[in-house]
Amino acid sequence: MTTQSLPCRAAFAQVDITPDFPVDLIGYARPEPVRAVLHPLFAQLILWERGGERFCLITLDTLGFTTSLAQMMRQQVASALGTRPGHVMLCATHTHSAPNPLSPINGARYWDLVTGRLRACAHEAIARLAPCLAGWALGQTDIGENRRPGCSVVDRRLGGLLLENAQTHAPIVLLLRACAHANVLTGPQVSSDYIGLAREKIAASRKCPVMILQGASGNLKPVGVDTVHGGTLDDAMRIAEQFANAATQLSFTPRPVTGLTMMEYPLLLSAPVPSAQAAALLAGQSGMDAGPWLAECARLRQAGIKSQAIPRAVHFLFLNEGCFCGIPDEIFCELALEAARLAKAPLLFFSGYTNGCTGYLPTAAERAKGGFETHYSYMIYYRYHGQVMPFASDTACRLSHAVAAGWRSFFGTGC
């Protein structure tokens, strides 16, 4: 009997990761630490086990950790599960009202809280493993709109994966993937934004636990809210209602798991270091205090670095006829749509915010336009990910083709 023909078991578990102490929130500048909680934050995970191998997908109500912190977290979870880090996929819902784990104000304390509770959650999932069936569905949702001037492209696909107990046919968990920044709420309160509200609504409607993956949302904002200042609680509830209404339309036919694996597809990407003249021009155009960024660019040039070499890995979860995959960067929605087109695979869902969160990754056309997502944001966030400029202009095309190639490498084996 081959590994792929063996029975598959699965489990869902979740844990509250809301801080009960003052924290700095990340995503918008807030003048003071906060401890008020508008909505709780959760870590949720699905564990699969087959033929002695375990695979785990995790969603966290966070803006996203650095890639180094994400790797540490994956290692800790993998150790708790008795598997390897490559079998743990970490996804951020990208709420802009979550604690900053790098803040000097209880950042390390919050990191310890999350990792400790997540390890316990992993052990809980092991105890819950049960034979499972899996079914995919594809729908559409209009929760997102393009926030780049002159661009209207949107990934409206609503991907769904339902796991159910093979013996009782009770639902184990419903996993959904859609695209829109979780930045409706900007106030000084901890919140999972519209993501948490949507989970509650969908869980009540479908009578099962719900997990939500943030998709290719680098250039997508929630529909009807301000690009810079976000919206109100009513807006968050409106977006959640739209999401829930779309999710209720999905229809699933769970069947035995005949193909299951995780794999990482390594890539080496590059980003240019600007000349002194180009850096000064960008800094002037941005309207920001770019002094520290200019100093970092100068340091790189003095070290003889004209282009930063940046390793990446596309992380794939293949299950039957569908796939979730992702990289840390905030990819523009066009990359996900192009990957699905190249692979001729509507159930291929390429996302960002996976195994960390770094800078934006635009298409070549949008990169050429400039703006916050393509250039100016690096003047703020380079200190977290070390990258001072967007990737080379051919990177989006390379990634879409790499994702399509990863799809073909799995399904070309007949699995």
Tens digit of pLDDT for each residue in 304-332? 999 999 999 999 999 999 999 999 999 99
- The predicted structure's pLDDT at residue 414: 39
For residue 153 the two structure tokens come to: 């492209």
Quickly count helices (H) and strands (E) in the chain.
10, 19
Element (H, E) at 153: none
Is residue 3 predicted with pLDDT exceeding 60?
no
Contacts for 349 with CB less than 8 Å, ≥ 6 apart: 157, 159, 177, 213, 215, 322, 323, 324, 325, 336, 340
Give the span between the Cα atoms of 285 and 283, in whole angstroms.
Answer: 5
> Which residues sit opposite 56 in a β-bridge?
47, 88
Q: Which residues pair with 262 in a beta bridge?
A: 317
Q: CB–CB of 248/158 below 8 Å?
A: no
pLDDT at residue number 5: 59
How confident is the model at residue 415, as a pLDDT? 38
Q: pLDDT for 172-227, tens place per residue?
A: 999 999 999 999 999 899 999 999 999 999 999 999 999 999 999 999 999 999 99
DSSP 303-369: TT-SEEEEEEEEEEEEETTEEEEE-SSEE-HHHHHHHHHHHT-TTEEEESSBSS---EE--HHHHHH
354 bridge partner residues? 91
396 vs 365: CA distance, rounded Å: 10
| Side chain identity at residue 31, one-letter code | P
**What's the token pair of residue 55?**
């695979």
Rounded Cα–Cα distance for residues 404 and 156 (Å):
19
Say how far apart CA 94 and CA 26 lie, in whole Å.
10
By the 8 A CB rule, do 151 and 220 touch?
no
Flag whether the pTM goes above 0.85. yes
Vertex 385, ends 379 and 387: CA angle to 5°?
A: 55
**DSSP class of 407:** H
- At 95, the amino acid letter reads T
Distance in angstroms (rounded) separating the CA atoms of residues 134 and 27: 35
Who has greater pLDDT, 32 or 325?
Answer: 325
* Structural element, H or E, at residue 79: helix 67-81
Q: What is the pLDDT of residues 368-402, one digit of tens each?
A: 999 999 999 999 999 999 999 999 999 999 999 99
Mean pLDDT computed over 48-61:
97
pLDDT at position 2: 45
User: What mean pLDDT, rounded, does the chain reach?
Assistant: 96
pLDDT, average across residues 328-345 = 98
The arithmetic mean of pLDDT across residues 348-370, rounded, is 97
**Sequence-ordered list of residues with C-beta below 8 angstroms from that of 36, at least 6 positions apart, any chain:** 188, 189, 190
pLDDT tens digits, 68-94: 999 999 999 999 999 999 999 999 999
397 vs 392: CA distance, rounded Å: 10
Element (H, E) at 269: strand 260-272
- Rounded average pLDDT over 107-129: 98
Distances (CA, A) of 200 to 11, 14, 207, 209: 19, 14, 10, 9
Question: Cα–Cα distance between 28 and 22 in angstroms, integer?
Answer: 16
pLDDT over 70, % of the chain: 98
Residue 30 pLDDT? 84
pLDDT score at 32: 86
Query: How many CB atoms within 10 Å of residue 223?
Result: 16
Q: Work out the pLDDT band at 255, boundaries 50, 70, 90.
A: very high
Packing angle, helices 276-286 and 378-385, rounded to 10: 120
